[in-house]
Structure 1
Amino acid sequence: MNKNVNLFVLATLITACQQQKAINPAPDITLLPYPETKRGNVVDQYFGTAVPDPYRWLENDTAADTKAWVKAQNKVTNNYLEQIPFREAIYKRLEKLWNYEKFSAPFKEGEYTYFYKNDGLQNQSVLYRQRGDDGEVEVFLDPNKFSDDGTTSLAGIAFSKDGSLVAYQISEGGSDWRKVVVIRADDKSRVGDTLVDVKFSGLAWRGNEGFYYSSYDKPKAGSALSGVTDQHKLYFHKLNTPQSADQLVFGGPDKPRRYIGGYLTEDERFLVISAANTTSGGELYIRDLTKPDSPIVNVVDNFDKDHSVIDNDGGKLYIYTNLNAPNGRIVTVDASNPKPENWVDLIPETEHVLNPGTGGGRIFAHYLKDATSMVLQYNRAGELERTIELPGVGSASGFGAKAEDRELYYSFTNYVYPPTIFKYDIVSGTSEVYKKSGVDFDPSNYESKQVFYTSKDGTKVPMIITHKKGIKLDGSNPALLYGYGGFNISLTPSFSTSNIILLEQGGIYAVANLRGGGEYGEKWHLAGTKMQKQNVFDDFIAAAEYLINENYTTAEKLGIAGGSNGGLLVGAAMTQRPELFRVAFPAVGVLDMLRYHKFTAGAGWAYDYGTADDNEEMFNYLHAYSPYHALKPGTAYPATMVTTADHDDRVVPAHSFKFAARLQEYHRGPNPVLIRIETKAGHGAGKPTAMIIAEQADKWAFLFQHTGTPYLTAADSQ
């Protein structure tokens, strides 16, 4: 009997070995000549300093010569990527990993419970609904039918309070410019005309009469994706009336603001208006909608801090603010006299950063503790009821519900814990699993730990490092370091299906919580802005040095990645320390720091960056680190794959075009400089699944090729 068992085990091992296959990087890849990029003679003057900008012509993204350049660059990039031996194997593995059902948390509107589901490889998730607990599940909205290629997405949805009317936003090709369609929930019939040219907007219903939305005047023809959008306006759209008749509620020439938002308290008593000129800080206004022709009342009359009305009890307002509280607090005030001098602390500031939610008559104080979630439940009097027990150390989201709800759904995840939806009883404080992730991943094989390393100026910076258990820390592991470091945005632990490719190959995934982010509140954010921006790059470089010094990897095995402001981060790091990284992935990056504010709503980023027009000192600072300008002739840079998209109207593709053109001109050495330009895509939101998988496959193939990492097929890596 034992002999038979041993023979069976031996046969199984032999079969497994026969299935094993390691695909080695290509020993040599033919790089087609880079497209000849013409040089112009544009020279700008800044405070007496001449700054050449020979690739200015690439800013005209609709011009024939720019389109020809894009086509030629993509030809070079695609030809190169096609020669990587394991590119197709990685694509197939990603496609297999992605192919599982994905669900959102359910939410109730009127008589129905709604939820999103993706069968696996659908380009866009489908919105379903069910009447009651036992009703038949039906498709409510299927964005996959919005376009043949899946590039038109559902970009936002709002139900009237009784759930009978629905307004939803559509994004075409990833653009921030949206259309708004209104339908009846019962039979999905259209109501009125489709609104067009809506941008950076929520949708806030006032009864069943109509809704508030925000937008800009559309730039002139030919510059819709890059033209400056400066004056945001809040409108009210009355159903069954033309958009041209929409009422201007706030903004415009008499009250010019770059960002304006409008939303209603749950009881629809108050319209709340936020107004700002930059991405941080703003004014706060309210209007009592129960009083005919009531005035818009100013609550906060400056742009110094952040504030929002999170709830109300009649005329009593609950306000989140970081005024005199860099980490945030909750105050109450009577709406009849709402100025800050009358605010009373309900939940005072703590040492942790606050992001509150409300529901079921409670306040949920979500805190960041070293970039991970801690959630406390308070009653309306500000008395602590409990600390909510989470499944582990990671990121929790979704602690919000309607006032009458007695349960809510929240999601929990970390780098080795696939997103799981929990049902939470607000009264008892008990949680139960509602939906587990179906991804093919065994968390027990991996570990994720937080370390604190020292940056250049002595600041301690947290970083979470994730890898397979039992790997040797001998410097032989491929690694990808990711960062952002800006705009008060916090990078909290989150699971990525794409990252399985790296982890199952024995690679290291590291995320550094750099200054400029919001992980430790306003002070942490400000320490990475304007004349302190170099701190962000120093933090990132120090993270890379830590990974190398602790033998997680070596410079020859290390890649760096980041998108948008993170693309700036990668661009700055690779130009300042090119020898420290083997591979660089600057994605949809802000790479020309002297002209970023000349496009779309870019001027609103000045709170973080400053502008070259401010003063000579600010110009000199920006000019010194601006990736496009910091490139040096004859320098060996990392193997680089710049990524952008033709419909990105947030960080216009000209940043990436100009940076790639100059990098190709200046770079010396065998490493390739590629630019991968997606068509019919934008800054990232709403990108179809097929496009995401293809881009991620190219990223991992490029990383493994240039870190000399053999790719073990799935049979090996399980």
Structure 2
Amino acid sequence: MRYAFALLLPLLVMTACSSAPKPPSTRVDAVTETLHGVEIRDPYRWLEDQDSPETRAWIEAQNAHTEQMLRRAPEYPDLEARLEQLLRLDDADPPLEAGGRYFYMKRAAGAELPVLHMRRGLEGQDEVLIDPHPLSEDRTTSVELRDASDDGKLLLYGVRVGGEDEIELVAYDIDSRREIDRLPKARILDQEIEKDRGGLYYGRMTAAGPRVYHHRFGQKEPDREVFGEGFGTDRWISFHLVDDDRTIIFEASQGWDRSELYLMPVGREARLLTGDTHAVFTPVRAGGQMLVLTDWKAPKGRLMSFTTARPDPASWREVIPEGDAKLEEIRVAGGRVFAHYIENAVSRVRVFTLDGKSQGEILFPTQGTVRAMGGHWRSPGAFIAFTSFQLPLVIYHATGSDPKPWFDAKAPVDPAAFTVRQVSYASKDGTRIPMFLLHGPDVKPGTPRPTLLSGYGGFNVSRTPQYSSYILSWVERGGIFAMPNLRGGGEFGEEWHQAGILDRKQNVFDDFIAAAEWLIAEGYTSPEKLAISGRSNGGLLVGAALTQRPELFRAVICGVPLLDMLRYHKFLLGALWVPEYGSADDPEQFRYLHAYSPYHRVKPGTAYPAVLFVTGDADTRVAPLHARKMAALLQSATGSGHPVLLRYDTKFGHTSSLPVSKQVEDMAAELRFLLWQTGG
């Protein structure tokens, strides 16, 4: 279905904005401090206190103002209905096989939340194990699969409320269909059931840092700490039980470009294997050996192997050498290695024997993304979940390079109604940046159209083509979607990531701004029709873009963002991100953080674009205070007359564990804002 843009709408928008109600007044405090000789003003620091009565009243007033303003937008009566059609599809995650049983999360087309299922055998009937729908009337409680015992008789699943990162960890006996234990809510990092099913090891984040504990099911005594003493809040831990649970291999990560491997015989001291090597080491169990995906002396990644009898790196053997594409992930199943590569920002999967001999490549129907892979060394095969801009999801079961579809979601989408292009452009320093464009087949440069430019550029995350009802709805209405592969991401290996962190973070913003300039110069859009969006680190990205080049954009969606980069590290998980961003406690790092921190770049009287900030109380990852403070500051500073709004959810937060109806509501609100502001 196609929708034309109304030519008269920009005039209506101007008229509406000229008589728009003013945002709620916000108290200004004269808070100043001196950091490294520079005076820093923070007029809205009082909004950092999320639970104060004044902040709660302010949030309520902001939400009321936002709803009032969004009601001024034109009606799009078919918008929510189309989002429902595109989103209410069967969906699933790759199964976890254990003891011939297959455990997986699946959401039926008519359901609000994913349900934990089991099959007895690959082609068995679906059996519901845990249905989260009865757990809360408002569907704010969800469940997720975490682990299964080797024999498939015991399951671990998590219970999450809202969008919190913290979960309760539940041990569940499959045959009796009963809960046998429950660990209190915590930020769980990893977990693994012991072979005898008598207990588990689990990692969680404490106030002091990450720690790994041993828990016996049903015990009342405090759990025994086994690893992590001395690690601070800038680290996290994952692990594997090996040698019939006699040995544990730990990966202790610090930032997104460094981790250490430790080997610990149970009951003894852990031994560091990798020394002071600045590289990432991700272990994967493969029977009697460990495979290690690493960028050590290989920025695009290679695969090494070792045994616990000879674990020192000097004895490691190279299994798959570094290639031209980035080695993103591996799974070991059915005696083979399934290697997921990112090549020119699209996924490819190659198959190898355990000693590295090529067994061919899995061919996908179009350019797209391996959303997830499932399987472990005991499994007869791997599961590979594939998606693209127009294809919602196919989960393949693969024992070699000729996989068979195991799950296939169908969407009411005609692929011929969309054109995907991959272009490239020069950033400020001349670096070539690739970018995907998604639009209708009739779109030609020279006729500016409403365009949504979205980016991330951080934490070694690769942005690749994926299905989104949000994006398809935008494009169906005549818009263009643009997704550049910015530096700081993981699309081209560790060197690409390193080019966008710490004192090189401005490269990411320059790449994004250059994308906007290219789209305008090529005639795809104009500043009056260009919108930008980003979430989390992407929220920082669009915050930097709108404060550095406000004249380029008409509308901004800034979701769960970091914006006060001088104080971010003091809240929630902020300390984990210091290796990526730096810390204002360090004089040199303060210099570049202060230079781009969006909250500190706002200038009174500047004609800023329309902005919709989105966050919520249950975000326990990125503190909602960033959006609160920035919304207040921009509302007082903007000279454009365009709305600056805050849409603040009191039940949900950072993660995507939302019921479908809530997803539709949120997407419809954002799309109405974008269509209204860009003339769509």
Shorter-chain TM-score tier: over 0.9
Match of 2:235 in 1: 258
Q: 1:256 to 1:77 in 2, by over 3 A?
A: closer
Judge conservation of contact 2:388–2:466 (CA < 8 Å) in 1: yes
Match of 2:355 in 1: 381
TM-score by length of 2: 0.94
Judge conservation of contact 1:282–1:302 (CA < 8 Å) in 2: no
Measured in 1, the distance between the counterparts of 2:472 and 2:8 equals 19
Match of 1:205 in 2: 193
Q: Deviations over 1:372-393 (max 9, x none)?
A: 1122211111111212222222
Judge conservation of contact 1:155–1:686 (CA < 8 Å) in 2: no
Task: Name the aligned partner's letter for residue 69 of structure 2.
Answer: Y
**How is 1:455-534 mapped onto 2 (pairs within 5 angstroms)?**
455-534=427-506
**How is 1:214-613 mapped onto 2 (pairs within 5 angstroms)?**
214-217=203-206, 229-242=207-220, 244-253=221-230, 258-265=235-242, 268=245, 270-289=247-266, 293-302=267-276, 304-314=278-288, 316-354=289-327, 355-426=329-400, 429-613=401-585
Q: Deviations over 1:625-681 (max 9, x none)?
A: 100000101001011101111111111000111111100010012210001111211
Q: Deviations over 1:451-483 (max 9, x none)?
A: 111101000111010111122333331110110
- Cα deviation for residue 73 of structure 1 reads 0.3
Identity fraction in percent: 37
Name whichever of 463-472 and 115-124 sits farther off. Answer: 115-124
* Number of residue-to-residue matches in the alignment: 673
Measured in 1, the distance between the counterparts of 2:563 and 2:663 equals 23
Pick aligned residue for 1:174 from 163, 177, 186: 163
User: What is the DSSP-based 3-state SS (H/G/I as helix, E as strand, rest coil) of the residue aligned with 2:273?
Assistant: strand
Measured in 1, the distance between the counterparts of 2:97 and 2:230 equals 40
Judge conservation of contact 2:94–2:373 (CA < 8 Å) in 1: no
- Cα deviation for residue 620 of structure 1 reads 2.0
Measured in 2, the distance between the counterparts of 1:482 and 1:546 equals 14
Judge conservation of contact 2:331–2:376 (CA < 8 Å) in 1: no
* 2:653 is the alignment partner of 1:679: no
Task: Name the aligned partner's letter for residue 278 of structure 2.
Answer: D
**Any stretches of 5+ residues in structure 1 without a counterpart?**
1-15, 218-228, 710-718
**Any stretches of 5+ residues in structure 2 without a counterpart?**
none
User: What is the DSSP-based 3-state SS (H/G/I as helix, E as strand, rest coil) of the residue aligned with 1:168?
Assistant: strand
Match of 1:93 in 2: 82
Measured in 2, the distance between the counterparts of 1:514 and 1:482 equals 10
Q: 1:256 to 1:436 in 2, by over 3 A?
A: closer
Task: Name the aligned partner's letter for residue 601 of structure 1.
Answer: L
- Cα deviation for residue 399 of structure 1 reads 4.4
Judge conservation of contact 1:121–1:689 (CA < 8 Å) in 2: no
Measured in 1, the distance between the counterparts of 2:346 and 2:570 equals 36
Q: 1:488 to 1:251 in 2, by over 3 A?
A: same
- Cα deviation for residue 161 of structure 1 reads 1.0
User: What is the DSSP-based 3-state SS (H/G/I as helix, E as strand, rest coil) of the residue aligned with 2:590?
Assistant: helix
Judge conservation of contact 1:230–1:257 (CA < 8 Å) in 2: no
Pick aligned residue for 1:187 from 170, 176, 188: 176
Q: 1:632 to 1:256 in 2, by over 3 A?
A: closer
Name whichever of 82-91 and 563-572 sits farther off. Answer: 82-91
- Cα deviation for residue 123 of structure 1 reads 2.4
- Cα deviation for residue 89 of structure 1 reads 3.2
Match of 2:621 in 1: 650
Measured in 1, the distance between the counterparts of 2:123 and 2:284 equals 34
Judge conservation of contact 1:300–1:340 (CA < 8 Å) in 2: yes
Task: Name the aligned partner's letter for residue 110 of structure 1.
Answer: G
Match of 1:7 in 2: none
Q: 1:100 to 1:24 in 2, by over 3 A?
A: farther
Judge conservation of contact 1:358–1:399 (CA < 8 Å) in 2: no
Measured in 1, the distance between the counterparts of 2:429 and 2:208 equals 38
Measured in 2, the distance between the counterparts of 1:200 and 1:525 equals 27
Task: Name the aligned partner's letter for residue 500 of structure 1.
Answer: L
User: What is the DSSP-based 3-state SS (H/G/I as helix, E as strand, rest coil) of the residue aligned with 1:430?
Assistant: coil
Match of 1:668 in 2: 639
- Cα deviation for residue 690 of structure 1 reads 1.7
User: What is the DSSP-based 3-state SS (H/G/I as helix, E as strand, rest coil) of the residue aligned with 1:300?
Assistant: coil
* 2:93 is the alignment partner of 1:116: no
- Cα deviation for residue 552 of structure 1 reads 1.4
Judge conservation of contact 1:23–1:86 (CA < 8 Å) in 2: no
- Cα deviation for residue 106 of structure 1 reads 4.0
Q: 1:137 to 1:321 in 2, by over 3 A?
A: closer
Judge conservation of contact 2:332–2:375 (CA < 8 Å) in 1: yes
Name whichever of 344-353 and 86-95 sits farther off. Answer: 86-95
Measured in 2, the distance between the counterparts of 1:281 and 1:20 equals 49
- Cα deviation for residue 253 of structure 1 reads 4.4
Match of 1:49 in 2: 38
Task: Name the aligned partner's letter for residue 100 of structure 1.
Answer: L
- Cα deviation for residue 350 of structure 1 reads 1.4
Measured in 1, the distance between the counterparts of 2:259 and 2:122 equals 43
Measured in 2, the distance between the counterparts of 1:107 and 1:23 equals 52
TM-score by length of 1: 0.89
- Cα deviation for residue 111 of structure 1 reads 4.7
Measured in 1, the distance between the counterparts of 2:599 and 2:136 equals 36
Q: 1:81 to 1:633 in 2, by over 3 A?
A: same
- Cα deviation for residue 200 of structure 1 reads 4.0
Measured in 1, the distance between the counterparts of 2:145 and 2:34 equals 43
- Cα deviation for residue 249 of structure 1 reads 0.8
Measured in 2, the distance between the counterparts of 1:707 and 1:543 equals 18
- Cα deviation for residue 358 of structure 1 reads 1.2
Judge conservation of contact 1:300–1:339 (CA < 8 Å) in 2: yes
Q: 1:298 to 1:498 in 2, by over 3 A?
A: same
Name whichever of 430-439 and 266-275 sits farther off. Answer: 266-275
- Cα deviation for residue 581 of structure 1 reads 0.7
- Cα deviation for residue 93 of structure 1 reads 2.3
Task: Name the aligned partner's letter for residue 241 of structure 2.
Answer: L
Task: Name the aligned partner's letter for residue 213 of structure 2.
Answer: Y
- Cα deviation for residue 114 of structure 1 reads 3.2
Pick aligned residue for 1:66 from 55, 65, 68: 55
Measured in 2, the distance between the counterparts of 1:570 and 1:483 equals 8
Name whichever of 639-648 and 341-350 sits farther off. Answer: 341-350
Measured in 2, the distance between the counterparts of 1:534 and 1:522 equals 17
Task: Name the aligned partner's letter for residue 39 of structure 1.
Answer: V
Task: Name the aligned partner's letter for residue 305 of structure 1.
Answer: A
Tell which structure's C-alpha radius of gyration is larger: 1
- Cα deviation for residue 52 of structure 1 reads 0.9
* 2:618 is the alignment partner of 1:629: no
Measured in 2, the distance between the counterparts of 1:605 and 1:236 equals 28
User: What is the DSSP-based 3-state SS (H/G/I as helix, E as strand, rest coil) of the residue aligned with 1:647?
Assistant: coil
Q: Deviations over 1:547-589 (max 9, x none)?
A: 1111111111110011100000000001010010111111111
User: What is the DSSP-based 3-state SS (H/G/I as helix, E as strand, rest coil) of the residue aligned with 1:72?
Assistant: helix
Judge conservation of contact 1:646–1:681 (CA < 8 Å) in 2: yes
